[in-house]
Amino acid sequence: MNDVVLVIALTLVAIGGTAVVMTNAPERQAVTLGVYGVLLTTLFFALQAPDVALSQLAVGTAFVPLMVMLAIRKIRGGRQ
């Protein structure tokens, strides 16, 4: 049973990673990166790693997309 969960989680992570890379607009990549972070968290839980999942959740859903959005905003605004 856990094998099925693992295969599904791994496939979703692979598809999510491809989706993040193939997104063309950087501001949309911030959103896709947040979703990818949640998918990674689920995979880490399925691999019996709660510490790592907590770390990824805290960092990948709040910290990194926020900084990507702030960087894009600064870059767009500075060029006007």
Partner 1 sequence: MSYYPYFVAGWLLLIGVFGVVRSRNLVQAVVSVSISQSGTYVLLLSVGYQRHATAPVFGSTEKPNLQVVDPVVQALTLTDIVVSATVTALLLALAIQVAKRHGTVDPDQLSALEG
Partner 2 sequence: MSRSVRYTLFFAGGALVAVLFVWAVVGMPSFGSNFHPYRDLAIGATIAHGTANAVSSVNFDQRAIDTLGEETIFFASVLGAAELLRPSKEEREAKREHGGMFRVMASTRFAGYVLLPLTLLIGLDVVAHGHITPGGGFQGGVVLATGVHLLYVAGSYDALERVRPVHLYEYGEVAGALAFVGLGFAGIVIAGSYLSNIIPYKGFGHLISAGNVEVLNFAVGIEVASGVIVMLAHFLEQAIALQGGPHE
Q: For binding to partner 2 (CB under 8 A), which residues are involved?
A: 50-51, 54-55, 58-59, 62-63, 66-67, 70-71, 73-74, 77-78
Q: Which of partner 2, partner 1, none lies near 48, with the C-beta cut-off 5 to 8 A by kind? A: partner 1
DSSP states along 5-26 = HHHHHHHHHHHHHHHHHH--SH
Q: How far is 34 from 56, CA to CA, in rounded Å?
A: 10
Q: Measure the CA angle with vertex 9, ends 24 and 16; round to 5°.
A: 0
What residues make contact with partner 1 under the rule CB under 8 A? 2-3, 6-7, 10-11, 13-14, 17-18, 20-21, 24, 26, 29-30, 33, 36, 40, 43-44, 47-52, 55-56, 59-60, 63-64, 67-68, 71-72, 74-75, 78-79
Q: Which of partner 2, partner 1, none lies near 62, with the C-beta cut-off 5 to 8 A by kind? A: partner 2
**Which amino acid type is present at position 31?**
V
Residue 23 has what DSSP assignment? -
